[in-house]
Amino acid sequence: MPTFSGKLAEASKRNNSLLCVGLDPDPALMPEMEVAAFNRAIVEATQDLVCAYKPNLAFYEALGMKGFEALRETIDCIPSHIPIVGDCKRGDIGNTARAYAGAMFEQWGFDAVTVSPYLGWDSIEPYCRYEDKGVLVLCRTSNKGGADFQDLSFQGPDGVSLPLYEWVATKVQEWDTRGNLGLVVGATQPEELRRARELCPDMPILVPGIGTQAGDLAAAVRCGTDRDGMKAMISSSRKVLYASRGSDFADAAREACVSLRDQMQEALASRSSA
């Protein structure tokens, strides 16, 4: 059976890229045009430069019914060899999680989703039953408030004190009997990213926060990739989508992607030679 991890590796090799582009349309920042047409232009201009696309559902839900239609058109215009991560950060009890998994994998047709760990394993397991899909669990997030709970230290089972996000990574590694779990760790916390990669050496890790949030791109590559320099999806949204607000927005997005991809490849090369 094809797996998310396999599809990601293929796309990453084909485009020589660790760059994931977040398709988060914001009418206040976009040129004046339809969301679906905007996204299509972005995808056409960047599809040979990315390892994945990642629409965040919030930006479509915010537009009401026409937002859902734009999301449908967006998913449909992405070439089938490029994995699509549905960034929804859902987290709910068993029967509700089953409904969300149906929405994300069957209705929308995403290749992977992001989920929240707060409700524990039985809130995550229903997504994992889709064995060809990826399930990326929030671990250490890129925002300031990420520290509020994720950095709290508690006594682990062996008496060693460890922060919540490390315990989440430990449990996700333990739960991954089907081989389709992964993590989300922000680029703004390279030390935490390094630690998460240590705890989950073979998982895909989605790494947001390198663009507007100003995480260190080279550190994200160094700390987020696996031993083969793979399995990191380093994600940028606003820096790519809104590189220009003029009619040249798609060309500007392409330029931004070339630059990001090349910086990532350089960081990878210097890591290998170090």
The residues annotated with a catalytic role in the active site are 89
What span, in angstroms and rounded, lies between the C-alpha atoms of 117 and 84?
Answer: 21
The mark string for 117-156 relative to a second copy (x by CB under 8 A, - otherwise) is xxxxxxxx-------------x--xxxxxxxxxx-xxxx-
What span, in angstroms and rounded, lies between the C-alpha atoms of 107 and 38?
Answer: 22
Planar angle of CA 239, 21, 34, nearest 5 degrees: 80
Q: Which of 56, 74, 235, 236 binds a second copy (CB under 8 A)?
A: 56
What span, in angstroms and rounded, lies between the C-alpha atoms of 88 and 115?
Answer: 7
Half-sphere exposure of 50 (CA within 13 A, CB side): 30
User: Please, which residue, 92 or 251, has the CB nearer to a second copy?
Assistant: 92
In this structure, are residues 108 and 90 in contact, taking their beta carbons and an 8 Å threshold?
A: no
* Stretch binding a second copy (CB under 8 A), from 8-16, 76-84, 165-173, 240-248: 165-173
Residues 206-235 that bind a second copy (CB under 8 A): 213
Please report whether residue 107 would count as binding a second copy according to CB under 8 A.
yes
Closest CB 24 distance from a second copy, rounded Å: 7
Please report whether residue 116 would count as binding a second copy according to CB under 8 A.
yes
What span, in angstroms and rounded, lies between the C-alpha atoms of 12 and 50?
Answer: 7
In this structure, are residues 197 and 205 in contact, taking their beta carbons and an 8 Å threshold?
A: yes
Query: What residue has token string 């709910």?
Result: 92
User: Please, which residue, 153 or 270, has the CB nearer to a second copy?
Assistant: 153
Which residues of the chain form contacts with a second copy (CB under 8 A)? 24, 26, 56, 58-59, 61-65, 68-69, 72, 89-97, 99-100, 102-104, 106-107, 116-124, 138, 141-150, 152-155, 164, 167-168, 171, 213
